[in-house]
Amino acid sequence: MQKFTFYNFAKLSGLILGIAVANIVVFSPGLLGLQLRGAGALETALGVTFIVASLLILLSLSYQFLFKPTPPPAVPEIKSRDDLAAALSRFKRVKGLAGDIDLALSQLERIEQKKNTLYDVLQQRFDESEMTFTKFAAVIQSVENLFYRNMKSMLSRLHLFSSAESTKISDSDESSLSKELLHEKENVYHEYLQFVKDSLNTNEEILLRLDKLLLEVSRLDHFDPEEIETMSCIQEIDDLIRQTKLYK
């Protein structure tokens, strides 16, 4: 059932008023003047049909306004980093999320900076046609893909967060609901919050792995392409990708 808001009340009131006015116009003698008694069969049938149609419209739209579940808000299509940042920024006004959203936006900026710095260092040390450059570039791309998949997954949960907010406990709930149900409602709410925080923690791990990769790349003068996969930072990146089950 939808929450009965002033907007829904206004729509329902307008619907009732509109149907009432339509019936007045149809059945008033000074207007269309349809009659149900003492008239021809066609006129009676039209009058009955109009009344039935009015009732069906009233019942159908009343259900839409009052009882039909509100679908979760659609996740906007994300085509660029700016789209993702804009979508996340909308949640800064949600109570309890401002700090998390600020961190997410910071992470978006930092991964771009780290990625660009890594490519700059690689281009200084290797030719883009070399196998070493290609292997490092593939690692960076895998990490970036993991980061953005994780961020988009978090955004999908955030779009359901407003629904989860309705599970927060009010004073009236405490007096009328069982302790078990109250506890379950509270758990659902906190699960949404925890998912956001877990996603942010994973992203911080990703950024840390990129820092370690940058440190190792800048520290050594040359690489054997076969040794790249044995580097500790590369192994940590592989482990992180496997743990999130997003590795392809």
Name the band, by pLDDT with cuts 50, 70 and 90, for residue 95. Answer: confident
For the chain, give the mean pLDDT: 76
Region of 96 (left: φ > 0; alpha: ψ -120 to 50; beta: rest) is left
- Residue 75 counted as domain residue: no
Q: What is the pLDDT of residue 221?
A: 61
Q: What is the pLDDT of residue 66?
A: 66
Same domain, 95 and 198: yes
CA–CA gap between residue 138 and residue 136 (Å, rounded):
5
CA–CA gap between residue 62 and residue 45 (Å, rounded):
26
* Kind plus residue range of the DSSP H or E element containing 69: none
Q: Name the pTM for this structure.
A: 0.60
Same domain, 153 and 86: yes
Same domain, 126 and 178: yes
Whether 34 contacts 46, CB under 8 Å: yes
Q: What is the pLDDT of residue 115?
A: 93
- Residue 73 counted as domain residue: no
Q: What is the pLDDT of residue 6?
A: 61
- What digits encode the pLDDT tens for the residues 113-161? 999 998 998 888 878 888 878 888 888 898 898 899 899 888 888 877 6
Residue 75 in tokens: 């996740």
CA–CA gap between residue 95 and residue 77 (Å, rounded):
24
Closest residue by Cα to residue 232 from 196, 198, 208, 204: 208
Q: What is the pLDDT of residue 18?
A: 84
CA–CA gap between residue 241 and residue 248 (Å, rounded):
9
Name the band, by pLDDT with cuts 50, 70 and 90, for residue 234. Answer: confident
Same domain, 149 and 126: yes
- What digits encode the pLDDT tens for the residues 179-233? 777 777 777 777 878 888 999 999 999 999 889 888 887 776 665 556 666 676 7
Does the CA dihedral 141-117-111-228 come out positive or negative? positive
- What digits encode the pLDDT tens for the residues 157-190? 887 765 555 445 454 555 666 777 777 777 777 7
SS3 56: helix
Range of the domain at 213: 81-243
Same domain, 97 and 186: yes
Q: What is the pLDDT of residue 113?
A: 94
Angle between helices 81-89 and 131-158 (to 10 degrees): 30
- Residue 76 counted as domain residue: no
Same domain, 118 and 156: yes
Closest residue by Cα to residue 193 from 71, 70, 83, 98: 98
Residue 111 pLDDT greater than 60, yes or no: yes
Please spell the DSSP secondary structure of 36-59, one letter per residue. Answer: SSSS-HHHHHHHHHHHHHHHHHHH
Angle 35-36-41 from CA coordinates, rounded to 5°: 95
Same domain, 221 and 119: yes
Total structural domains within the chain: 2
- Residue 14 counted as domain residue: yes
**With the CA atoms of 77, 151, 109 and 207 taken in that order, what torsion angle do they form, in degrees rounded to the nearest 10?**
-150
Q: What is the pLDDT of residue 65?
A: 66
Q: What's the whole-number mean pLDDT along residues 77-88?
A: 86
Q: What is the pLDDT of residue 42?
A: 75
Same domain, 52 and 140: no
Same domain, 11 and 128: no
